[in-house]
Structure 1
Amino acid sequence: MLANKFTFGPAILVTAAFIGPGTVITASLAGANFGYALIWALLFSVVATIVLQEMAARLGVVTQKGLGENLRESIKQPVLKWLAIGLVFCAIVIGNGAYQGGNISGASLGLAGLFPDLGNSLGWNFWPLIIATVAFVLMWRGSYHVLEKSLLMLVAVMSLAFLVTFVITAPNLIELLGGMFYPRIPSGATLTVIALIGTTVVPYNLFLHAASAKQRWQSAENLSEARKDLYVSIPIGGLISIAIVSTAAAAFFGKQIELNSAADLAPALTPIFGGWAQSAMAIGLFAAGISSAITAPLAAAYALSGILGIRPDLTSLQFKIIWIVILIAGLLVATLNYRPVLIITFAQITNGLLLPIISLFLLWMMNQSSLGQHKNSPRQNALGGLIVLITIMLGSRSLLSAFGVI
């Protein structure tokens, strides 16, 4: 009986990574600006995440190597190998740097919302440094189990915060279901759709999942456990995202608002929560930010160590140097005098545009004969190909719109 008892595994790290400040801000903007119309994009994103992350976990468990290691070893032609390494390197560094800046900014906004007087009395914004220090200490210990338990706790905290707001604001369920199952893109919503996808289907989470799955399970016989973990953890994140969109739609749609911080989410919720309005949103934002601030540098370290031939080990000095660089880069981005919402939104759009590149690499890897019976089936290839096609179409539409072509 105990052997069949479900326990959370590496997939909860993926949930902790994609439910970050980007989700809170992007989903809030989606609900405030377009009501329930874009919830279908989140439903698509959750399905896409499950499909792609299952491939990444299966690759890690079966080969006992991360996605980066598999890419480096499978491409034999030198020019193609270095081109692939260069693409992945740029995708990870650009996407992760922006994303980490958004994580630290978002967590800082949460703390600033909880302790406004403390920050004002000191005269400078020290919260990003506090967030970065906490993330540094947890990662430097090099214990996978400590990280997993810490992130599970943070996911539980933000789940409670955002799901409670969803229930109390009592969104219109008919309109919610309509937005979920009737796909449409209102005028001016293309970038928001890409941002919603980018905040859920995070490219470097594929590297994180493959590497952490091989640490948790050492045999293909454990694939059923890996899938159970995935099928429970990812939908939890999807429910949180949908709850945030729905809460913002119920509270803000049709009103002229400008989101710059967690404090801006509070006024419309004040009649519901009273004096706890700001605290409720700030706690969720802090938990989302600190969890993603831990997982994003780890994901980058797993990805880059794999493709560069560095030992992907939490205790390895070279591995630590990689995530330290990403952490510092995020800290610098977070301390720039830009509106935090702009940093966070830019990170999500960047992720959405980079997703097809990493997904194509993953699909190619999952069709290698070395995987034997565990390589992709025609159905899995069809689903993966459809996801890549949709993300390419959305990204192309966004770029064409940016240049005034459409």
Structure 2
Amino acid sequence: MKRVLAVTLGILTAIGGFVDIGDLVASSLVGARFGFALVWVLLLGVVGICVYAEMAGRVAAVSGRPTFDIVRERLGPRVAFANLTGSFLVTLLTLAAELAGVGLALELLSSVSYLLWIPAVTFAVWVVIWRTKFETMERIFGLAGLSLIVFIVAVLHLDPRWGDMWQQVTHPQLPAGEGLPTYLYYGIALFASAMTPYEVFFFSSGGIEERWSRKDLINERVNVFLGFPLGGLLALSIMTGAALVLHPEGIAVDHLSQVALPVVVSLGKVGFAFVLLGVFAATFGAALETALSCGYTVAQYFGWTWGKTHAPRAAARFHLVVIVSLLVGSMLVLTGIDPIKVTEYSLVFAAVALPLTYLPILVVANDREYMGEAVNGRLANSLGVLYLLIILVASLAALPLMFATKAGL
């Protein structure tokens, strides 16, 4: 019964924890601007995160070693340090976006500027990381994030023409006035929102925190192959709501309030209350994950004691990195930079950095010295190589498209 409960809660937390500020912004913005023309990219990204997370989780469970320990060994200290630098900076930028997302959710609730909430939010994230057990933290915010199911309810309540939607999904067309470079730029941002590297850092490191072993592979795979796709369904419902409500009216997404608008139109104040709870839980949970991921990556590379299973005194350097990351992320937000743009930039740079961590995991997942009989099978390897090519293309195209389109303007 305990194992069944662990699997069930794992699925629920994966669903509730999938959607962060990147998914909220990217899915809503793309739906509002392009309608259903980029649904295929979201589906591509959901399959990709399943492939990536399953390999990383399996490697952690079988080898008992964290991601950046393996990256350092496979790439060498110098190349791995460049990898660490890029991955850490992207995760730090994502942390800033998540802190801003929590502040924006509180602004919608209180009408007090999100900037005034940032110090309190930063302190609250640190307290939860410092005092709360890993499993408790993961489950509380993951389950609370399930409030975002209200987006699915809102779409059903809007009673769309399903046949017309299917036609637009299967025959995507550029809306009038949109160019191909802009379409591709937002496609890469949407793809990166599903495959943000910190999700895998947190997932695989969390497996070690929870002491996964070979006997936990079934649990790990069920969590990945049910939890992530169902979480992707939440992102798809956010995009669908924006495509149905915002796109026809030409409403742009430049604030979190526009993300919630389709639910308000469909379900009124009750729906809005669920959106606030879901957005707060999703962004606060993601802030916890990104702050921990900053600590995970640095500590794993340098071989320090790390993780919430160790007393803070025993993992002092790990916790110091987490605290400094939170302070730097909050100071970035407090400069007043547009949080929606911070989110967009974090997604673009995540796409650029993605190959650096994906490739070593793919290599190790094929190495019998590490994995024994748990190496990639034919299907896993075919999908792994296919997604490596897709990731490389997205990585190489991301910055040129950002400059060519002036970040999607």
Give yes or no for contact 2:185–2:402 (8 Å, CA) kept in 1: no
Equivalent residues in 2 for 1:145-160, closer than 5 Å: 145-158=135-148, 160=149
Matched, 1:104 2:94: no
Could you tell me which residue of structure 2 aligns to residue 163 of structure 1? 152
Residue 284 of structure 1: which of 278, 285, 293 is its match?
278
Which residue matches 2:340? 341
Unaligned runs of 5+ residues in structure 1 are: none
Following the alignment from structure 2 to structure 1, what is the Cα–Cα distance between the partners of residues 261 and 145?
Answer: 25
Pairwise CA distance, 1:34: 0.5
2:293 is matched with which residue?
299
Distance across 2 between alignment mates of 1:399 and 1:126: 33
Q: Does the C-alpha gap of structure 1 residues 284 and 23 become closer, same or farther in structure 2, counting only changes over 3 Å?
A: same
TM-score by length of 1: 0.88
Asked if structure 2 preserves the Cα contact closer than 8 Å seen for 1:11 and 1:209, the reply is no
- Secondary structure of the 1:257 match is coil
Using the alignment, how far apart are the partners of 2:78 and 2:12 within structure 1?
Answer: 32
| C-alpha contact (below 8 Å) 1:96/1:326 kept by paired residues | no
CA distance in 2, matches of 1:239, 1:106: 21
Assess, with a 3 A threshold, how the Cα gap between structure 1 residues 22 and 373 changes in structure 2: closer, same or farther: same
Matched, 1:140 2:130: yes
Counterpart residue identity of residue 346, structure 1:
Y
Cα shift at 1:164: 2.6
TM-score between both structures, scaled by the size of structure 2: 0.88
Cα deviation, residue 83, structure 1: 2.5
274-283 or 96-105, which moves further after superposition? 274-283
TM-superposition CA deviations, 1:77-109 (whole Å, max 9, x none): xxx512232222122222112111111111111
Aligned partners of 1:271 and 1:213: how far apart in 2?
40
Q: How does 1:4-403 map to 2 (within 5 A)?
A: 4=4, 7-8=7-8, 18-72=18-72, 74-75=73-74, 80-116=75-111, 119=112, 125-141=115-131, 143-158=133-148, 160-178=149-167, 180-181=169-170, 187=180, 188-265=182-259, 270-275=264-269, 279-314=273-308, 315=311, 316-370=315-369, 371-402=371-402
Shift of 1:167: 2.3
Q: 1:55 to 1:268 in 2, by over 3 A?
A: closer
Cα separation, partners in 2 of 1:153 and 1:14, compared to 1, 3 Å = closer
User: Kindly, what percent of the aligned residue pairs are identical?
Assistant: 22
Distance 1:196 1:85 in 2: 27
Q: What is the alpha-carbon distance in structure 2 between the residues aligned to residue 289 and residue 226 of structure 1?
A: 24
1:12-47 Cα distance to aligned partner (Å, 9 max, x none): 666555411111111111100010111111111111
Q: Please give the alpha-carbon distance, in whole angstroms, between the structure 1 residues aligned to 2:401 and 2:204.
A: 35
Distance in 2 (CA, whole Å) between partners of 1:344 and 1:18 is: 16
Deviation at 1:54, TM superposition (A): 0.6
Superposed displacement of residue 161, structure 1: 3.1
CA distance in 1, matches of 2:269, 2:140: 29
Q: Name the count of aligned residue pairs.
A: 394
Deviates more, 1:372-381 or 1:173-182: 173-182
Higher deviation after alignment, 160-169 or 301-310:
160-169
Matches of 1:347 and 1:297, distance apart in 2: 15
Q: 1:137: how far off?
A: 1.0
- What residue ranges of structure 2 are gaps of 5+ in the alignment? none
Deviation at 1:221, TM superposition (A): 2.2
Change beyond 3 A, Cα 1:232–1:403: closer
TM-fit CA distance, 1:222: 2.1
Change (3 A) 1:227 1:265: closer
Contact residue 17 and residue 205 of structure 1 kept, 8 A: no
Q: In the superposition, relative to structure 1, how do residues 209 and 182 fare at CA in structure 2: closer, same or farther (>3 Å)? A: farther
In structure 2, do the counterparts of structure 1 residues 181 and 67 end up closer, same or farther at CA, with 3 Å as the change threshold? Answer: farther
Q: Does the CA-based 8 Å contact 1:171-1:247 persist in structure 2?
A: no
- SS of residue in 2 equivalent to 1:392: helix
Kindly state the Cα deviation for residue 125 of structure 1 after the two structures are TM-superposed.
2.9
Kept in 2, the 8 Å contact 1:113–1:279? The answer is: no
Cα RMSD (Å) of the superposition? 2.6
| Matched-pair contact (CA < 8 Å) for 1:12–1:234 | no
Kindly indicate whether the alpha-carbon contact (under 8 Å) linking 1:311 and 1:319 is maintained by their aligned counterparts in 2: yes
User: In the aligned structure 1, how far is the partner of 2:80 from the partner of 2:119?
Assistant: 32
